[in-house]
Chains A and B, each alone.
Chain A
Amino acid sequence: MSQPLLKLDHATIRFGGLTAVSKFSLEVQPCELIGLIGPNGAGKTTAFNMITGVYQPTDGHIHLNGKSIAGVKPHDLTRQGIARTFQNIRLFGSLSVLDNVRVAMQLHCKHGVRAALWRGAHFKKLENEVEMHALELLDIFKLGGLRDEEAKSLPYGDQRRLEIVRALATRPKLLLLDEPAAGMNPTEKDELMHLIRFIKDKFQIAVMLVEHDMTVVMGICERIAVLEYGVKIAEGTPQHIQRDPKVIAAYLGTATEKEEPVDA
């Protein structure tokens, strides 16, 4: 088996007395579509924040391409190939749609402050290239026509899509989507599922998503991990997960629990 793209090895994070994620082990292969589910407060977003360097695990290790990411800052992790979207959309509201994507492309730009100040012919050429790439990317997701709109003035669905485009502009190897279907109607969810599959195939990247919507998760994920109270209780194919008694218990409660007599 090839080297996993991302490897979590007993990753644990505690906030004071609360263990938000406990001994979470998971491997993500290149170009895989993996889902992370669990009831509210199970630690899914916290796991995302550990992978993206926002939080440092208290115990355990996380490796990206075989290299430990302990102590690596979020912006450096993006350089190494992790990009993400947020549960509550976090676009650069006052920038135009095009500029949102341009900003995300700058980590691959070779021209910086000096070129910007000198404004030579070379700078102009490079800036045009960046703009062209950004527009190509926007066109793929049918946002090209909105290039000059302010990001915060876009409709909700477009904002979600723009956030994904912006993440893709950093040229990731692993794309983390935090509840991409939140607030979407069934038609939009359908489009989203197509979109995610399309992204995976077109850009040849691994996609990991946290999602509450079971239709979406079961519909597109090749593999699913289930968290409950910060502990991984199951991992496997959607069919396998749907039948797993532990998962059913986590979501619906168990029969025995209900019948337990209450101590007076």
Chain B
Amino acid sequence: MTGAKRWLIAGIVLAVVVSIFSAQFNRYHLGIIIDIGINIILAVSLNLINGHTGQFSLGHAGFMAVGGYTAAKISLVVSPMLPPALQPMIFLFALLAGGGLAALAGLGVGIPSLRLRGDYLAIVTLGFGEIIRVVVQNMDSVGAASGLKGIPKYTTLGWAFSLAAVTIYFVTALVNSTYGRGFIAVSDDEVAASSMGINPVRYKVTAFVTGAFFAGIAGGLYAHHKQFLSPTGFDFLKSIDIVVMVILGGMGRTTGVVVAAILLTLLPEVLRQFSEYRMIIYSLLIIVLMMARPQGLFTWNRKKGGAA
């Protein structure tokens, strides 16, 4: 299994090396590539909650907002006080703090998930996401409705893809173990799982906290990439976008979800030439893809069970 760790290191090295040459890229393309990295983190972390553990969360944009605003505020306050050489340290700290606070929010949402399932849980998480958005909209310290401006541009291709690699490693390593099979067991049959000595509550909360942590990291990267945060960017449509990536990629299929995240980030950009018809074509393509491959884009063989 040390092979998995080798992949992680290879991924990070590759991301950093490519990042060194990122000045060669067209700014527009570079922006989209970083978007892809962020979306991979979002989709893979949501896949732990919705795919592997079988919960239905519509609150991922909420966790992202918690992480994004926290990280942005920290670097806005701290970076003018410290020498520029410490910049990566500040950024790392801001990201971790954002992820940590999002994880705390995940714990808060995980608690009702002990009692609710399916549609009911989806509605609670949807409500949570909206609460976060409304709270932010009314907080003057983070710019309220007019948004938070002037966030330093710390996010590079290297940061985005290194952290995407960490997320993928974390989620797959977690699920591909005797311990982690419990997530899938809870998703398959909660009653049977608990009669096999598995505590479904612990697993669900673990999934929510882990998923929210990485969503918070993604939010921090997003904030330092766009350099501007507005509450409207974290409405429930953003959550739906991430859910679509997970469903299209195939619930619980990490490879599929990564590819779906890439595809669904590129698609709206490729469709720019159709201007006003863009979103119509985008929606139609999603409907067609769903009808053609309801089991997920890359799900051919489910023999091995669990994560790919």
Contacts and interface: CB of A to CB of B under 8 A. Distances in A.
Interface of A: 52, 54, 73-75, 78-79, 83-84, 86, 90-96, 99, 102-107, 109, 111-113, 115-117, 119-121, 123-124, 127, 130, 148-151, 166-167, 169-170
B305 A84 contact: no
B197 A99 contact: no
B180 interface: yes
A75 B195 CA distance: 5
A151 B180 CA distance: 18
Contact of A119 (B1, B178, B182, B189): B1
Interface string B227-268: 000000000000000000000000010000000000000000
Nearest to B2: A119
B177 A116 contact: yes
A12 to B, nearest CB: 23
Contacts of B5: 119
Interface in B10-63: none
B185 interface: yes
Contacts of A151: 305
Contacts of B192: 86, 90-92
A109 B179 contact: yes
Given A78-B196, A117-B170, A94 B178 contact: no
Nearest to A117: B173
A79 B198 CA distance: 9
B199 interface: yes
B193 interface: yes
B131 interface: no
A170 B305 contact: no
A119 B173 contact: yes
14 contacts: A54-B195, A78-B194, A83-B195, A90-B189, A92-B192, A94-B305, A95-B305, A105-B178, A111-B178, A116-B179, A127-B178, A149-B303, A150-B305, A170-B196
Interface in B194-210: 194-200, 206
B303 A150 contact: yes
Contacts of B185: 92, 95, 103
Most B Cβ at <10 Å: residue of A93, A109, A117, A166:
A117
